């Protein structure tokens, strides 16, 4: 409605039009506004009618524009428009040429000719009047209610109906009174109550009471029957108003449809434009991505070419330097002084030498979750710019044992050497290895003289199962005053405290347990897992193994210094087999202490013991000891748990030789466990991925113990 209101505004007063007339330029303005524009332009004041049968015709309701001029005579609008408007008072027809009025049209911005009759030439825009009436009735713009014109003032009621023939507004009672049934007035046209009644039909402004029944297509104006006979319309295309009405109506309908089609086409065009913009953006993104890829490929190619060129330049420089050395050598051969010759020859010889064969540090080299290889150059070797590390996998025999010696290496299916080129340090980490395999490693250095000799080959055996990484959990410790866990929770130390001294007087009469238990912070529920630890050789008794999490909590949470025949510190092995010979034991431990490891005898451990004896270790109790054998404590002890098979195997983690294998109950979650009896210390093997390249593995555990307060 707001947009419609803009179309109903007069371009002069900027208000809704009243009594609109159509100018020759086809713009519509108020009749009163048009007369004011003419007066301001210097033309005489035309006679204008008031709004017929409206409150504006009364003295109390006149508009401010009507107060500035005398009231014109009340008559029909069309008759007054054909009066002397546009001519000077007193002018006679035979006096000089007629005066042509010019009206300045605000929308056009130019002067429009009105003709000698002025505003009388302009017709009223009845269609616009109808639209204004409907608009006013719809939005109720009128501030003054339309009152019945036939009620007396004290009892005046609001009008509910209007009569187009009577040009008056009535309330219900007055309408019935003035339009009784059976009379001609009952056939009058009923309209909405309004303050301005329009004429029912258009009449000719030149010929009184003559209806406009024809339309001149050449002049584009309405004609009456008398205007049609004029000479000025001779030969023009004149058609009846009804035919022109049908033609113009069809034209307007076609225009409306065309506008709707144009709106639809515009909408479709906007959608297509948006889709086209989206496609263009996608193409631009693809082009940008392709450009980035090409730029990266170009940069990679440039770097490769630059590296190749740098290598060629280095080679050329080396050749030039060698040429210089050759010339220097030829001059050196001319030297006759022995001391000067030897001194110069030694310097020249060192400049020609490649690095010597590196020496692999077997104490720092190890195989755990990855291979960690360390080496050093001999003291009298020339410096190396970088190193080349080579490794390959040897075949393994069924059962996990590695084929040893040159004979096994020749019989196995050898893999090709793999290399780590241009290693700048003296250590390297090799990953993506196969489990339970033997790898052969060697190193050689390189400088401007070229590559030197290979180091001696070393053999590293990877763990039999994936490495399990965990930390120590001391929440189960029975004697927290004697147990110290490092900040990293990978090292632990047990120090004999006051409770052990107080129980010393009973040590000769009974067996007492003073054990500290540590477990891992993980629970194993499936698969095969391997981990390793090192025990301090000076420890009294340390037990390493696995057990059911629930049973460990139940059996190790005993009152302090309580006698228990199940745990014998001298037996060296606790498996829980005393409870039942049919079911697997709930936990399995190996005992270490005082630089020894105790291996109990069992049917499943003969092969392991035989392999261990072949390694050169001696049995302090004799090879035929029925209670088991003892061996020197290895640097690291490995534990491999097969949860599905319910088996645990202990290894010498340095050489990956099996020591002992036994059953364990895996019907519930199993966790790594460590038990201290007396003083002792252990350290979990750290992952190679978490190690510092320059860190040296330490076998001895050094942890600052806490001070125990005596009661």
Q: Looking at 156-240, list the stretches that DSSP marks H as alpha helix, in order from N- to C-terminal side.
A: 172-178
Q: Which pLDDT tens digit goes with each residue over 562-581?
A: 433 333 434 444 554 444 45
**Confidence grade of residue 450 (pLDDT, cut at 50, 70, 90):** confident
Topology of 472-686 in CATH? Jelly Rolls (2.60.120)
Q: What average pLDDT score do residues 126-138 get? A: 80
Residue 269 pLDDT > 70: yes
| Mean of pLDDT over the chain | 76
Give pLDDT, residue 528. Answer: 95
Listing DSSP states for 437-473 in one string gives -EEEEEEEEEETTEE-PPPPPEEEEPPSSPBPP--EE
Sheet of 515-520, strands arranged across: 472-473, 515-520, 670-677, 541-548, 587-593, 596-599, 629-632
Q: Which pLDDT tens digit goes with each residue over 98-110?
A: 667 888 888 888 8
Q: Which pLDDT tens digit goes with each residue over 16-75?
A: 888 888 888 888 999 889 888 888 888 887 766 555 443 333 333 333 334 334 444 334
Which residues have CB under 8 Å from 571's CB, separation 6+? Answer: 591
Give pLDDT, residue 91. Answer: 45
Which residues have CB under 8 Å from 470's CB, separation 6+? Answer: 520, 521, 522, 531, 672, 684
**Confidence grade of residue 411 (pLDDT, cut at 50, 70, 90):** very low
Residue 610 pLDDT > 70: no
Q: Which pLDDT tens digit goes with each residue over 658-691?
A: 999 999 999 999 999 998 888 889 999 999 887 6
Which one of 1.25.40.80, 2.60.40.10, 3.40.50.300, 2.30.42.10 gives the CATH number of domain 359-462?
Answer: 2.60.40.10
List the Cα angle 552/650/362 in 5-degree steps. 130
> Residue 587 and residue 585: Cα distance in Å, rounded?
6
148, 142, 108: which is closest to 23 by C-alpha? 108
| Alpha carbon of residue 216 to chain centroid | 72
Residue 324 pLDDT > 80: no
> Residue 483 and residue 322: Cα distance in Å, rounded?
66
Beta bridge partners of 639: 531, 650
Q: At what angle do helices 241-332 and 338-352 cross, to 10 degrees?
A: 150
Burial 608-639 (b: 16+ CB within 10 A, else e): bbeebeeeebebeeeeeeeebbbbebbbbbbb
> Residue 498 and residue 249: Cα distance in Å, rounded?
118
Give pLDDT, residue 643. Answer: 94
CA dihedral of residues 229, 231, 232, 238 (deg, nearest 10): 40
Q: Which pLDDT tens digit goes with each residue over 638-665?
A: 999 999 999 999 999 988 899 999 999 9
Residue 604 pLDDT > 80: no
| Alpha carbon of residue 372 to chain centroid | 39
The continuous run of DSSP H or E covering 419 comes out as: strand 418-423
Confirm if 594 and 620 have CB atoms less than 8 A apart: no
Which residue's entry shows tokens 């029925």? 626
Residue 1 pLDDT > 70: no
**Confidence grade of residue 117 (pLDDT, cut at 50, 70, 90):** confident
- Residue 301 CB coordination number (10 Å): 10
Angstrom distances, CA of residue 482 to CA of 31, 89, 479, 547: 115, 133, 6, 23
Beta bridge partners of 545: 589, 673
- Residue 270 CB coordination number (10 Å): 10
**Confidence grade of residue 77 (pLDDT, cut at 50, 70, 90):** very low
Give pLDDT, residue 622. Answer: 36
Burial 384-421 (b: 16+ CB within 10 A, else e): beebbbbbbbbebeeebbbeeeeebbeebeeeeeeeee
Give pLDDT, residue 49. Answer: 57
Give pLDDT, residue 597. Answer: 92
Give pLDDT, residue 627. Answer: 62
Kindly report the backbone phi and psi dihedral angles of residue 676, in degrees, each rounded to the nearest multiple of 5, phi listed first: -110, 130
Q: What average pLDDT score do residues 311-333 get? A: 75
Q: Which pLDDT tens digit goes with each residue over 204-236?
A: 877 777 888 889 988 888 888 888 888 888 888
Q: Which pLDDT tens digit goes with each residue over 288-300?
A: 999 999 999 999 9
- DSSP 3-state of 373: strand
Q: Which pLDDT tens digit goes with each residue over 493-539?
A: 887 665 555 555 554 444 445 678 888 989 999 999 999 999 999 88
């Amino acid at each position: 409605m707001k947009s419609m209101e803009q179309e109903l505004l007069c371009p002069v007063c900027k208000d809704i039009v009243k009594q609109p007339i159509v100018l020759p330029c086809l713009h519509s303005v108020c009749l009163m506004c048009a007369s004011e524009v003419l007066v301001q332009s210097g033309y005489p004041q035309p006679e204008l009618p008031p709004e017929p049968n409206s409150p504006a015709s009364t003295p109390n309701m006149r508009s401010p524009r009507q107060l500035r001029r005398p009231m014109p005579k009340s008559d029909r609008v069309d008759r007054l428009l054909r009066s002397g408007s546009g001519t000077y008072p007193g002018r006679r027809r035979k006096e000089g040429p007629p005066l042509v009025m010019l009206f300045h049209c605000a929308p056009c911005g130019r002067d429009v000719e009105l003709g000698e009759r002025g505003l009388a030439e302009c017709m009223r825009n009845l269609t616009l009047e109808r639209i204004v009436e409907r608009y006013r009735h719809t939005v109720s713009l009128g501030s003054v209610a339309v009152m019945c014109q036939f009620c007396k003032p004290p009892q005046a009621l609001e009008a509910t109906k209007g009569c187009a023939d009577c040009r008056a507004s009535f309330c219900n009672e007055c309408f019935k009174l003035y339009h009784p049934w059976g009379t001609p007035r009952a056939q009058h046209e009923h309209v909405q109550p309004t303050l301005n009644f329009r004429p029912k039909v258009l009449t000719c402004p030149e010929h009184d009471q003559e209806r406009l029944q024809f339309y001149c297509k050449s002049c584009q104006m309405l004609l009456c029957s008398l205007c049609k006979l004029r000479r000025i319309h001779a030969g023009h295309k004149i058609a009846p108003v009804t035919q022109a009405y049908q033609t113009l109506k069809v034209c307007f309908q076609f225009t409306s449809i065309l506008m709707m089609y144009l709106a639809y086409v515009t909408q479709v065009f906007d959608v297509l434009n948006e889709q086209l913009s989206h496609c263009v953006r996608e193409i631009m993104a693809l082009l940008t991505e392709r450009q980035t890829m090409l730029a990266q490929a170009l940069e990679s190619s440039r770097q490769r070419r630059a590296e190749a060129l740098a290598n060629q330049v280095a080679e050329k420089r080396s050749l030039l330097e060698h040429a210089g050395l050759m010339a220097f050598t030829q001059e050196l051969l001319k030297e006759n002084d022995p001391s000067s010759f030897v001194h110069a020859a030694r310097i020249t010889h060192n400049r020609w030498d490649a690095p010597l064969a590196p020496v692999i540090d077997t104490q720092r080299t190890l195989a755990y979750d990855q291979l960690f290889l360390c080496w050093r150059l001999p003291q009298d070797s020339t410096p190396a710019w970088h190193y080349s590390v080579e490794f390959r996998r040897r075949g393994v025999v069924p059962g996990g044992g590695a084929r040893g010696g040159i004979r096994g290496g020749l019989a196995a299916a050898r893999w090709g050497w793999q290399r780590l080129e241009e290693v700048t340090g003296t250590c390297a980490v090799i990953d993506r290895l196969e489990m339970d395999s033997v790898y052969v490693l060697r190193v050689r250095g390189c400088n401007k003289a070229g590559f030197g000799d290979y180091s001696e080959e070393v053999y590293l055996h990877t763990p039999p199962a994936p490495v399990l990484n965990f930390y120590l959990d001391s929440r189960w410790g029975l004697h927290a005053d004697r147990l110290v866990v490092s900040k990293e929770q990978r090292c632990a130390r047990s120090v004999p405290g006051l409770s052990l001294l107080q129980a010393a007087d009973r040590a000769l009469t009974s067996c007492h347990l003073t054990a500290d238990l540590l477990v891992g912070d993980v629970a194993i529920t499936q698969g095969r897992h391997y981990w390793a630890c090192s025990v301090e050789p000076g420890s009294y008794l340390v037990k390493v193994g696995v057990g059911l999490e629930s049973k460990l909590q139940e059996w190790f949470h005993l009152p302090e210094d309580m006698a228990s025949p199940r745990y014998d510190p001298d037996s060296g092995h606790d498996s829980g087999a005393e409870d039942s010979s049919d079911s697997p034991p709930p936990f399995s431990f190996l005992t270490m202490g005082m630089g020894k490891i105790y291996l109990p005898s069992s049917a499943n451990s003969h092969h392991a013991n035989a392999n261990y004896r072949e390694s050169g270790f001696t049995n302090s109790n004799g090879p035929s000891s029925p209670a088991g054998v003892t061996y020197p404590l290895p640097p690291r002890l490995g534990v491999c748990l097969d949860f599905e098979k319910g088996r645990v195997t202990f290894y010498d983690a340095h050489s990956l030789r099996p020591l002992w294998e036994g059953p364990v109950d895996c019907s519930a979650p199993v966790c790594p466990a460590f038990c201290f009896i007396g003083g002792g210390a252990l350290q979990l093997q750290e992952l190679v991925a978490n190690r510092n390249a320059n860190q040296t593995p330490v076998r001895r555990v050094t942890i600052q113990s806490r001070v125990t307060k005596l009661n």
